[in-house]
Structure 1
Amino acid sequence: MKYQSKKKALLLLEDGTIFYGKAVGNNEGTAYGEVCFNTGMTGYQEIFTDPSYFGQLMVTTNAHIGNYGTNVDEDESGSVKIAGLICKNFSYEYSRPIADHSLEEFLRNSNLFAISDVDTRALVSHIRDQGAMNAVISTEVEDIEKLRESLKKVPNMEGLELASKVSTKEPYFFGNPDAQYKIAALDIGIKNNILRNLAKRDAYIKVFPYNATFKEMNDWQPDGFFISNGPGDPEPLHEAAEVAKEIMANNYPLFGICLGHQVIALANGISTYKMHNGHRGINHPVLNLLTGKGEITSQNHGFAISREETEANPEIEITHVHLNDKTVAGIRVKNKNVFSVQYHPEASPGPHDAEYLFDQFFEMIASTVNKDALV
């Protein structure tokens, strides 16, 4: 095995708890962020490049990470977004024929610091009990007090606006310009596979920056609007919520995923809150209240919308609930062409139980377009 004499490393949590491990690739480094865990057995590359994870230290609960390498086509954005990686067994070799790099090369090319040989079962158990918190991973194992002081300066995720850190700076296009439908997408951390799912349903997408106005988006004369997933606290996203309000005021078709779902809730006067741990994995059970059917879903969020306020809002209907903790997993606005979900129907890899939501969005668009044509 490579790197028999790997450098010692540690994970220091905000509450003072320390876990020891080894630096991946025998590197030296230090990385800060909110520590969170993902329970998926596959999909580490997609996790690492998902903008929703921006600034977080990722703990992978699967015991083996890196065993199938990486492939450039599986990136969810143009770069790695996590702040650092914590795992149990790191695989330096890979066996998948279509992989173009080992995970070690992928991390090195991305300048991402990672540590392995950590007791991740004990770590995750601690986080589940104590809740999400900031942490630092480092090879500076002899200077814990210095790390402790530096960690105090890391901002808390609650109240933190991060969409501006991952959004496109300028509008861009995705898909076939001759497609049947035009979708205006507000990028507050959009994933590549969302764009692929929209495009394969005969849509041409114009992706707008996080601070785009409704007028800027509507001037393109789209057939429907989309608000993406993304990182950070939804509450500071006042501009995005205002866009959602104006879309709803005009009754245009609107679909939101994850952070976009929370923005739509905020636009309807429903507050959000930081969860004790959040939902991150590809096997989360959801009940569709409209059909009575269960769905296994991919999820990644540390905030949720208030169920009490949602139930009290006469204009909103809860369409999906998470079966583990009864949090709101989906809503629709009554008498409007608007709906959203807290999970990821574009899961890749992951279950495809919820992919119908994209079809539902385009059925809504088609009915609106046809209705307008008859006027």
Structure 2
Amino acid sequence: MNTAEIRELFPILKQEINGHPLIYLDSAATSQKPASVIDAVKRYYEWDNANVHRGVHTLGSRATDAYEGAREKVAKFINASSEQEIIFTRGTTTALNIVASSYARSVLQEGDEIVITPMEHHANLIPWQQAAKATGAVLKYIPLQPDGSISLSDVEATVTDRTKIVSVVYVSNVLGVVNPVKQIAAIAHKHGAKMVVDGAQSTPHMKVDVQDLDCDFYALSGHKMCGPTGIGALYGKKALLEQMEPVEFGGEMIDHVGLYESTWKDLPWKFEGGTPIIAGAVGLGAAIDFLQQIGMDAVYKHDLHLTNYAVERMSDIEDLTIYGPLKDRAGLVTFNLGDVHPHDVATVLDAEGVAVRAGHHCCQPLMRWLEVSATARASFYLYNTEADIDRLVAALLKTKEYFGHAIG
């Protein structure tokens, strides 16, 4: 299936914005949804809608099968060893908070170390700040290289025998850096630490094998990989999940309830209190079916080609600064155009029908490291083309002309 055929499967891309065909370059924030995902959610509500697990009637059985079938798809998609290792969550943020609130606070003691990087999204930074404050643990940072990457020698120097948790983003949502998480996990394990991976930006764009990575926890979001918003998953090694306590209590996650004591269901349900995100899970399962039909190797190759093309074209624009490594980066380019505020850049691009993101991208410490207050970001996915990049470049040149007084 070529890109033109893929684009036809996304209804939202057929509209015009401000009199121009929509060029959507904000997939790192949220991807668009193919008709098959939209139809799967619609069909669930029209045909199977019921609560799961407890009902014995037909709709309840069908809803349960669809929900648990989606869990099986997630497990296979990231090569977990068991569906019991997949916890449905609201997204990456919730998944990381579960690890920081349940696992981390149960094992950390005063003086223990949590190691992360300055490039982390706030969702993989603030939970560790809070865990450190609650336990007396020390938060440490692996330093960044001048291009924003990290070196394994710096990892070796930062992780010590006091380190209990290492948590690293697989792909930076600002720099496009693809971190060597498999090698980092090996270093963490050598010191007896557990490895947590923020997979929000990696899972949509490349083949993920959590067993090969040997990470202890892995978090992902459905809405960045063609699925609905409000659904994601936490992978955890079974032995670790079994020793963890739930962070939400109520219906669905209980086994026996007494007046003063209660017990929990087995994995994975003890972490899924309340009515679960059933329709979201169904949509995520449909998104996985769609991505597997395309092939994750093909998605990765396409995104890499587009990113290299974008870097090449955008590097020719005078006074435009690109942040992060210029080669071997994931499917996004973060940039600034002279002294023009990124929000102004994004506004002019929107007038041309080109949608990009502007701001600090939930990475304020990284912005300070880059010595900027904000940036603009164009991010690409399987439905984008070289023509989209050309439209972006043309719109940037028009922006430069419009704000000529602020550039140069």
Report the TM-score when normalising by structure 2: 0.24
Bigger Rg, structure 1 or 2: 2
Report the TM-score when normalising by structure 1: 0.25
More helix as a share of residues: 2
More strand as a share of residues: 1
Tell me: higher relative CO, structure 1 or 2? Use CA pairs within 8 A at least 6 residues apart.
Answer: 2
